[in-house]
Amino acid sequence: NAGVMQNPRHLVRRRGQEARLRCSPMKGHSHVYWYRQLPEEGLKFMVYLQKENIIDESGMPKERFSAEFPKEGPSILRIQQVVRGDSAAYFCASSEYNEQFFGPGTRLTVL
């Protein structure tokens, strides 16, 4: 019973490039969440999605960031024109009801 899967685990981008982070939820889970953790800080909510729907994007920066959870395939967090401040660990979580189960994260480094 595979847990939440994220890839890539590490991603290096130069300023101005695009970053695409993927998340496959646990089997049977229909809710996906993305969180970001900056160094020495807690996790900050970004977006909550169900299949083909964004339910809550109150934590997403207004520009350059987007997320989707298509009918088929993983959820994608997309960051366009990355800047150094985007360097962080990005965690995906999935749930069926209460408890959210987290993936191992993608560590994005922007040079």
Q: Which residues bind another protein (CB under 8 A)?
A: 4, 6, 31, 33, 35, 40-45, 48, 50, 55-56, 58-59, 91, 93, 95, 97-105, 107
Q: Decide the pairing of beta strands 75-79 and 88-95.
A: unpaired
As a whole number of angstroms, the distance between CA 38 and CA 88 comes to 5
| Residue 111 CB, nearest approach to another protein (Å) | 20
Q: Which is nearer to another protein, 13 or 105 (CB)?
A: 105
CB neighbour list of residue 19: distance below 8 Å, 6 or more residues apart: 11, 13, 78, 79, 82, 86, 108
Q: Which is nearer to another protein, 37 or 66 (CB)?
A: 37
| Residue 16 CB, nearest approach to another protein (Å) | 27
As a whole number of angstroms, the distance between CA 26 and CA 24 comes to 7
Which token pair is 95? 């749930």
Backbone phi, then psi, for 17, in 5-degree steps? Answer: -80, 175
| Residue 90 CB, nearest approach to another protein (Å) | 10
Q: Which is nearer to another protein, 19 or 100 (CB)?
A: 100
| Residue 55 CB, nearest approach to another protein (Å) | 8
